[in-house]
């Protein structure tokens, strides 16, 4: 039976991947310090559904002995544990570096120490490309768009220059490059996903991270939303089930994927502005959200859409869930959390995909 270690396994992405692997009859070991609000609910959900087939060890990736023990007998390592917010990294850059950079190095070293090292999969970020100030942009009445036809059509590729911006960008970028280099220097089987905005069920979004879920929750609670910048910034949002498909696909094609870093997101077909997401959420709830605006935040990209062709051409993976369907699934899940007995209201006319 295949055994998988997921660091940060009680988190949003970790719990979704764990559910997929456990449903397939595999064993999953979750390593999580449970420091993020509400992730205990994800751990309890997995325990209720799968019992002893999954195991949770409460601990931190900065604990070298604990990490070595967790890695000791697994077939695959999915390293998701991280400090995840740019704002937090600005407040405490040393802790951000300790978790994201040194924590990743400790997991890599534990993998390297194995006689037959497990495959290693890492969640990086589009922040490794910085603010993308070199992109020439036009601002329409609804969104920013690139002047270059190639980027308008396909998005930002892995050939874009790395330009770490913010302590978070630096710590994740450092980890990204260590994972990439351990394939070259030590022959480890590693895959890096430089992710765009991921959303979906089991995401407890906040103002600092997980913005799609955060906006959905504010709408359901009829609370005002704060938009940083002008709301015209564009992201290619990717539903978490499509991301899980990408991890499972990469694992199954590790011989061709190993040693590569891939941009992973919804691609141009799922590119939306922040204000468009707000509008779509309002159409689902049948209420117009109340908005407030504040200044741009450090390292914010006015436009980022992933060019996913490299991963797609190697593996055949494609994002399947369109924004309209994905937002409905997220809002249904959030609604249950806000009021488990509430029936779903009839939405107003929805914006077309």
| Dihedrals phi, psi of 85, to nearest 5 degrees | -115, 135
Report the relative pairing of strands 190-195 and 260-264 from DSSP bridges. parallel
Strand partners, 127: none
Selected catalytic residue, list 144, 168, 182, 303 = 168
Query: Considering only CA atoms, which of 212, 101, 113 is closest in space to residue 167?
Result: 101
Instruction: Determine the 3-state secondary structure of 250 from DSSP.
Output: helix
Determine contact, residues 9/55, Cβ cutoff 8 Å: no
Secondary structure of the chain: what % helix, strand, coil (to 5)?
45, 20, 35
Instruction: Determine the 3-state secondary structure of 3 from DSSP.
Output: strand
Report the relative pairing of strands 137-139 and 144-146 from DSSP bridges. antiparallel
Instruction: Determine the 3-state secondary structure of 25 from DSSP.
Output: coil
Burial-class residue 181 by CB neighbours within 10 Å (0-12, 13-18, 19+).
Answer: middle
Burial-class residue 146 by CB neighbours within 10 Å (0-12, 13-18, 19+).
Answer: buried
How open is the CA angle 61-24-22, to the nearest 5 degrees?
Answer: 35
Query: Considering only CA atoms, which of 236, 218, 257 is closest in space to residue 119?
Result: 257
Instruction: Determine the 3-state secondary structure of 159 from DSSP.
Output: coil
178 counts as catalytic = no
**Interacting residues of 206 by C-beta distance below 8 A, sequence separation 6+:** 37, 85, 214
Angle between helices 240-252 and 12-23 (to 10 degrees): 60
DSSP state of 100: I
Among all residues, which ones are annotated catalytic? 168
């Amino acid at each position: 039976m295949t055994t998988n270690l997921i660091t940060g396994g009680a988190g949003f992405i970790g719990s979704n991947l764990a559910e997929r692997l456990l449903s397939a009859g595999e064993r999953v070991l979750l390593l999580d310090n449970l420091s993020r609000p509400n992730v205990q609910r994800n751990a309890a959900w997995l325990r209720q559904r799968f019992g002893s087939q999954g195991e949770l060890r409460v601990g931190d990736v900065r604990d070298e002995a604990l990490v070595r023990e967790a890695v000791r007998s697994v077939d695959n390592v999915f390293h998701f544990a991280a400090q995840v917010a740019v704002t937090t990294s600005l407040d405490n850059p040393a802790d951000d570096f300790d978790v994201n950079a040194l924590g990743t190095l400790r997991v890599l070293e534990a993998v390297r120490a194995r006689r037959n090292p497990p495959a290693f999969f890492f969640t990086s970020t589009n922040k490794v490309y910085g603010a993308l100030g070199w992109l020439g942009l036009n601002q329409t009445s609804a969104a920013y768009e690139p002047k270059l036809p190639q980027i308008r059509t396909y998005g930002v590729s892995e050939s874009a220059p790395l330009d770490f911006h913010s302590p978070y960008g630096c710590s994740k970028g450092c980890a990204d490059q260590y994972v990439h280099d351990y394939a070259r220097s030590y022959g480890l089987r590693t895959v890096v996903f430089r992710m765009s905005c991921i959303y979906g069920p089991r995401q407890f979004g906040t103002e600092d991270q997980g913005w799609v879920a955060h906006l959905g929750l504010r709408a359901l609670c009829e609370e005002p939303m704060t938009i940083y910048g002008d709301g015209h910034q564009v992201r290619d949002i990717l539903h978490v089930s499509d991301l899980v498909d990408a991890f499972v696909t990469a694992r199954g094609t590790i011989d061709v994927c190993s040693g590569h870093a891939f941009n992973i997101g919804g691609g141009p077909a799922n590119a939306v502005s922040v204000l468009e997401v707000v509008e779509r959420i309002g159409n689902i709830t049948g209420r117009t959200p109340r908005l407030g605006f504040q200044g741009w935040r450090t390292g914010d990209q006015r436009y980022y859409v992933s060019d996913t062709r490299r991963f797609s051409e190697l593996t055949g993976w494609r994002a399947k869930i369109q924004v309209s369907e994905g937002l409905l699934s997220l809002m249904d899940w959030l609604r249950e959390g806000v009021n488990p007995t509430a029936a779903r209201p009839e939405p107003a006319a929805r914006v077309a995909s």
